[in-house]
Structure 1
Amino acid sequence: MTDSLKLVIFDLDGVLVDTQDAENGALTHLAHMIGLALTEDEAKVLFSGKKIQDCIDVIEEMAHAACPDGAMAIVRRKCEELVGPSLEPIDGVRYALDEIQVTKCVASNSPRDIIEQRLQAAGIAHIFDGKIFSAYEAGAWKPDPTLFQWAADSCGFSKEECVVIEDSSVGVDAALAAGIRVLLYVPDPSKEPLPYAVTPFSSMWKLPAILQHSLTDTALYPVSGETL
């Protein structure tokens, strides 16, 4: 790792574990319950990285109808049903976590119990040694920078000593607003727009080498959008 890097802050869904499709499926299920013909592809564009309650609000606005009582619980139950009892980490994540020899933490818009449950199911909870930061405890959700600022402060590092690993626009916005360097995980860059002046990378297998060799103090706003 570079001498200036002391903390790697990971998002959860879509970065460490792949539950985005399940969450989008659960939100689509809720939309269908109130007569909104929303596809999972549309849900991905609308909801990626966002707070579930905000997604529910969008569904109600689009449908011009109220969701049933307990909509949040409906979404969470359906999501866990779609995820199932076991959960595989993103390809290459185990290797990356083993190779990155600095402090690591998780900062997610999800509730803490969901973060812990998914890390345990994926068999990687021990790697973070309880360094879990939930937007629900911070009282602020990405793209607000508070969550990442709290994670860095709690782990005892300045923003200049940190890098965020994200896969969503709201996460990138939060990291940049916090003044923290950010790498954007884009597993298929041919299918994803890259509107941000941040460094994209396509494989978790590459992440340790990127952090070792490619990350400099200028990487907050790199001039090249080439995917690593």
Structure 2
Amino acid sequence: MATTSDWCLIFDCDGTLVDSEPLLADEIATAFTSLGFPFVPDDYLHVYRGTAFLSILNQLQARHGPLPVTTEQAAKAEAEMRVRLLKRMETDMGLIDGAEEALDALVDIPHCIASNGPGNKVRLSMQVTGLGRYFGDRLYSGYDLKCWKPDPGMFLKAAKDLGSRPEHSIVIDDALVGVKAGLAAGMHTLHFKPHHPDEPTPEGALELYDLRDLPQVVARLMAEMP
């Protein structure tokens, strides 16, 4: 029978542990507007939340017709957006309600963060909010691995590094791209939806509305598995 140390918890960062999504929505809207696309913050929050910048760009090109945006222009817009975002995160970012309570209760289970965001953004989130004490250097970034959700590769690597099999891994993610990645990896997947309760949850995933309920959900999943 699997023990606590055989399991792992894989957390998303933005919108799951730290309340940075509204800041990112503002800045990413500014970036895509500067490239000539019609884009408002709600587009990110309700359609593209958690999706990598270049993936959003490709989807916008397909939706609105190809605009004359060069690779250099796109890279410049993203870089400038990242600089603005990091500055705002230093002063305007807080924790998702219940994050510390949940992590305190689950500290004995191996855990990490796996984010589609750049590594420096994830590290700043840990520093500003104080969550770094829970995760140390167990931080995975799509930019570092060149593998972004919904591809399951980042989750599979994280679980392997933590010594867990997919069936003993639990993903907690607020974005559909992360939920899809968790399901594709064959992991127990929790669709965390405190701010978007009406968002459809993919078949096979469980819904979670409050991080304070996470320890109980994790205990139930662990008890149900051999």
Q: Name the TM-score, length of structure 1 as normaliser.
A: 0.85
The verdict on how the C-alpha distance between 1:168 and 1:207 changes in structure 2, with shifts beyond 3 A counting, is same
How far has the Cα of 1:120 moved from its partner?
0.9
User: Does 1:209 find its partner at 2:219?
Assistant: no
Letter in 2 for 1:171: G
Match of 1:72 among 67, 71, 78: 78
- Structure 2 stretches of 5 or more lacking a match? none
How far has the Cα of 1:23 moved from its partner?
1.4
| Residue in structure 2 matched with residue 225 of structure 1 by the alignment | none
| Residue in structure 1 matched with residue 149 of structure 2 by the alignment | 142
Partners of 1:177 and 1:135 in 2: how far apart? 16
| Residue in structure 2 matched with residue 11 of structure 1 by the alignment | 12
How far has the Cα of 1:195 moved from its partner?
3.8
| Residue in structure 2 matched with residue 221 of structure 1 by the alignment | none
| Residue in structure 1 matched with residue 189 of structure 2 by the alignment | 182
1:50-199 correspondence to structure 2 within 5 Å: 50-59=51-60, 62=64, 64-66=67-69, 68=73, 70-85=76-91, 87-100=93-106, 101-188=108-195, 190-199=197-206
Partners of 1:213 and 1:202 in 2: how far apart? 16
| Residue in structure 2 matched with residue 222 of structure 1 by the alignment | none
- Structure 1 stretches of 5 or more lacking a match? 219-228
Higher helix share: 2
Letter in 2 for 1:66: V
Partners of 1:163 and 1:108 in 2: how far apart? 15
Partners of 1:190 and 1:161 in 2: how far apart? 27
Partners of 2:139 and 2:58 in 1: how far apart? 27
Share of identical aligned residues, percent?
A: 27
How far has the Cα of 1:45 moved from its partner?
2.9
Partners of 1:190 and 1:11 in 2: how far apart? 18
How far has the Cα of 1:208 moved from its partner?
0.8
Secondary structure of residue in 1 paired with 2:189: strand
How far has the Cα of 1:46 moved from its partner?
3.1
Secondary structure of residue in 2 paired with 1:85: helix
How far has the Cα of 1:24 moved from its partner?
1.4
Partners of 2:12 and 2:137 in 1: how far apart? 15
**Aligned 8 A contact 2:31 2:78 in 1:** no
Question: RMSD over aligned Cα, in angstroms?
Answer: 2.3
